Chain A
């Protein structure tokens, strides 16, 4: 058995001026090359948890261990795709990606930076838009730049904070398909926050379900039993699709707020495989 790539151990966040932590005693692991989605209601501290993984916020209790070392700050090895894409509006598409690439490899020559950036611009199907500024891009194109920027620094871990939630359904669908093919090819360790059940079922190997805050915990971890190589077009034809979907939907509708008996070992089930 591999050692986990990311190990979240008893994580807690209590904001100043509140008497109860937003979440507490959160334990789960992400294995190398695994794609894990986190689903939970708003207010359970999902974004805070992701920011802690990114090193942008410090926990008030517990620790995050990545590759055997505790996370104490941001790192180029953990790339973040932000919900709001967070492109720098005074830079072009190429400039935004090159900014990240030069941060990772400060000694590279301009030509080397440009060809490396071009590779990732082509990968996210933005060829031809290199010289455009973010204001001239659609929402979907902006998020593609965000994805290219994160991939271009070749991080060990990708962190995504509801990357497609601000997009319309069609754009979201095509970006999800691209993400499937990219992540299948790279087998990168990926942690993604979402509130879209279908997105989680399409992308994730395991789905972490969190109870509502305050005092949110991991309620359950669901292993995605649907066969690998899923596509959006075929997803709902898999035999286990409705079983898995109903299970996740029930969880969201029931809005459980209770604490599991043992927060270190939340119940883990494999759902969606053929019966």
Chain B
């Protein structure tokens, strides 16, 4: 019971903080009085905002109105520069899932092999350590030059950035399977394939799932930057396009949606991880 009361308190506090944030935001963007000393030329450029002393920054109410507007028709398509927010998110998700899927298909088998072979682990470790900290943006020119396709380049960049944590976690999980579990399998003369699928992978599953969560988080971080560069479609492109249109409301909404989708991806993998995990 006390746990539920504590949860309730936390929710109340979250709501209060959110309300405070919205209130402060609203007050900050609502101008007071008139701006006296404005250069007439600047005033002409800035329009009403400068004359009334209000900020060009949209307030929470503007955002809510615009969000309702965007969400009312999320999937419309009126040409290359005017697509619904749902379509843009779907493009980004598609790229992330492709790049992430590629990373999973490579990293889990390779991580398994590295985890079972101390020699390979030592031999490959320097490469992994050098490749791991490279920024996604640094890969982009090379990807564009070699792949010659901006869409595929974006997927490659997702892949190359999300593969390392998964590779390292899989190798670590496989290498640290408890000796007694392996001994049980050995005394039962279990075949290599059964050993891999019934003992090693289930034992390493929690570590691998942690790697998957880190990887998809990175992939979702990278996609926005990648799409800003390659352009065309996707939520990253949407942010950049709306910045060029100076529609700050759309930029803020995109930021909000990027956060929500990222959280959803993490929660889904977290849920799968709890299903595959085990307690000792």
Q: Bound pair: A and B?
A: yes
Q: A74-B189, A76-B189 are in contact. Are A86 and B279 (CB under 8 A)?
A: no
Contact A55 B187 (CB under 8 A): yes
Closest residue of chain B to A99, judged by CB? Answer: B198
Interface residues on B, range: 10 to 19
Which of B189, B194, B198, B280 makes the CB contact (< 8 A) with A135?
B280
Q: Which A residues are in CB contact (< 8 Å) with B69? A: none
Closest residue of chain A to B206, judged by CB? Answer: A90
Contact with A along B255-269 (1 / 0, CB 8 A): 000000000000000
The stretch among A77-85, A120-128, A193-201, A253-261 that forms the contact with chain B is: A77-85
A178–B180 CA distance with the chains assembled, in angstroms? 25
Which of A86, A99, A103 makes the CB contact (< 8 A) with B180?
A86
Q: Which B residues are in CB contact (< 8 Å) with A104? A: 188
A54 at the interface (CB under 8 A from B): yes
B145 at the interface (CB under 8 A from A): no
B42 at the interface (CB under 8 A from A): no
- B235 shortest CB reach to chain A, Å: 38
Q: A75-B189, A153-B188 are in contact. Are A86 and B183 (CB under 8 A)?
A: yes
Closest residue of chain A to B188, judged by CB? Answer: A103
Q: Which A residues are in CB contact (< 8 Å) with B199? A: 88
Contact A82 B190 (CB under 8 A): no
B186 at the interface (CB under 8 A from A): yes
Contact with B along A27-56 (1 / 0, CB 8 A): 000000000000000000000000000111
A192 at the interface (CB under 8 A from B): no
Closest residue of chain B to A96, judged by CB? Answer: B184
Which of B180, B186, B202, B203 makes the CB contact (< 8 A) with A84?
B180
**CB contact list, B161-204 vs A, under 8 A:** 180-181, 183-184, 186-190, 194, 198-199, 202-203
A89 at the interface (CB under 8 A from B): yes
Contact B279 A135 (CB under 8 A): yes
B127 at the interface (CB under 8 A from A): no
Closest residue of chain B to A56, judged by CB? Answer: B183
A100 at the interface (CB under 8 A from B): yes
Q: Which A residues are in CB contact (< 8 Å) with B278? A: 89-90, 133, 135
- A232 shortest CB reach to chain B, Å: 29
Contact B180 A74 (CB under 8 A): no
Contact B187 A80 (CB under 8 A): yes
Contact B187 A88 (CB under 8 A): no
Q: Which B residues are in CB contact (< 8 Å) with A76? A: 187-189
Q: Which A residues are in CB contact (< 8 Å) with B187? A: 54-56, 74-76, 78-80
A89–B186 CA distance with the chains assembled, in angstroms? 17
Q: A84-B180, A90-B278, A135-B280 are in contact. Are A56 and B198 (CB under 8 A)?
A: no
Contact with B along A99-133 (1 / 0, CB 8 A): 11001100000000000000000000000000001
A73–B267 CA distance with the chains assembled, in angstroms? 45
Closest residue of chain B to A88, judged by CB? Answer: B181
Contact A100 B202 (CB under 8 A): no
Contact A82 B180 (CB under 8 A): yes
Q: Which B residues are in CB contact (< 8 Å) with A78? A: 187
- Between A and B, 7 residue pairs with Cβ closer than 8 Å are A54-B187, A56-B186, A74-B189, A80-B183, A80-B184, A88-B203, A100-B188
Give residues in A with beta carbon < 8 Å to B: 54-56, 73-76, 78-80, 82, 84, 86, 88-90, 99-100, 103-104, 133-135, 153
Give residues in B with beta carbon < 8 Å to A: 180-181, 183-184, 186-190, 194, 198-199, 202-203, 205, 278-280
In the complex, besides A99-B188, A135-B280, 20 extra interface pairs with C-beta distance below 8 angstroms are A54-B183, A54-B187, A56-B183, A56-B186, A73-B186, A74-B188, A74-B189, A75-B187, A80-B183, A80-B187, A82-B183, A84-B180, A86-B184, A89-B278, A89-B279, A90-B205, A90-B278, A133-B278, A135-B278, A153-B188
